Amino acid sequence: MLALILLAGCDRQTPPVQLGGDIMGTTWGVSYIEGPPELTPGQVQQGVEALLAQVNLSMSTYRTDSEISTFNAIDTQTWFSSSAEFFAVLKAALDVGQKSKGAYDVTVGALVDLWGFGPGDIVDAPPAQDEIADLMSRVGQSNLRLDVQNRSILKQSDLSVDVSSLAKGYAVDRVAEWLSAQGVRRYMVEVGGEMRLSGLSGRGDPWRIAIEEPKISERSIAITLSLTDVAIATSGDYRNYFEANGRRYSHSIDPRTGYPVTHDLVSVTVVHQSCMMADAWATALTVLGAEKAMAVAQAQGLAVYFIRRLDDEFVHSQTPLFSAYLPAAEL
């Protein structure tokens, strides 16, 4: 689940045009200020919906006719000719997987389904160990081969790819790039909580974005940021889960073990120039756990904000690069 909140605040001088809808099993929203006079809100709505529909048709595991579902259904050792967008997303995912030392791996699709967090049936009990072991024998991005010249992909084991951990971020980037190409310079794009921001808000200052406190029973704000010309994504384990025999099982599956993560890191926020990369890294760092995530984030030069649950308290920390986005009172 994502935990970013737009603190819009209506501007007395330049109210934003606000559009939205449903896509990819979630919602999307666009707020923009002063587009070109010939660009109508209806045209923006249609343009955004067309882009999001294209991404959904390529990357949704909930659609049997999507590109990713077609790839997952093909036999092993069969080269698959992919679209440019699917190939770009998969290539980025493999890069994050390598840099996170396997904590991030998009070949966990079958494991996600087994634990009841995919398009299949919802489960209320953990799967059997032998089922997990069987799928783990097929998982691993080393079982994928990419032919960059021909934009083709081959799987060397009977695996399933799931790119939901960065597809929404990719969709945000596509919409943001389209808005810029139409001459819109001041905007906020959001899909499922992932955001990209450009220029100034209608108030004439940076966009105000709040990170949610990771509480299960209520919604409250942990901290508010002022951002412009960046993307931001948050990953957490505190809303999408099930409980069995007094134990909570998160949707964040560790591809190295086949089991949901069990550590105390409950929320990770990444600020990045690319929403796709912020999205992927937020997931990867969530799997790593607090200490390893901090080390990897600093080694990769990432701006990251962490929230841990220690007993009944939340403990906040951040990488040095994230400090630039914090209010002065939080430094």
Domain that holds residue 99: 59-161
Is 39 within the bounds of a domain?
no
103: domain CATH number is 1.10.3980.10
Is 121 within the bounds of a domain?
yes
Confidence (pLDDT) at 9: 47
Confidence (pLDDT) at 11: 42
pLDDT tens, N- to C-terminus, the chain (331 residues): 345 555 544 445 678 999 999 998 899 999 999 889 999 999 999 999 999 999 999 999 999 999 999 999 999 999 999 999 999 999 999 999 999 999 999 999 899 889 888 777 777 788 899 999 999 999 999 999 999 999 999 999 999 999 999 999 999 999 999 999 999 999 999 999 999 999 999 999 999 999 988 776 677 788 999 999 999 999 986 556 566 666 766 778 899 999 888 888 999 999 999 999 999 999 999 999 999 999 999 999 999 999 998 888 899 999 999 999 987 545 5
Angstrom distances, CA of residue 289 to CA of 93, 103, 267, 317? 19, 10, 10, 13
Is 93 within the bounds of a domain?
yes
305/316 Cα distance (integer angstroms): 7
Is 128 within the bounds of a domain?
yes
Confidence (pLDDT) at 169: 97
Residue written as tokens 């994050």? 96
Q: How many domains does the chain have?
A: 1
Of 255, 276, 248, 271, the C-alpha closest to 319 is: 271
Is 312 within the bounds of a domain?
no
Q: Would you say 30 and 41 are in contact if contact means Cβ atoms under 8 Å apart?
A: no
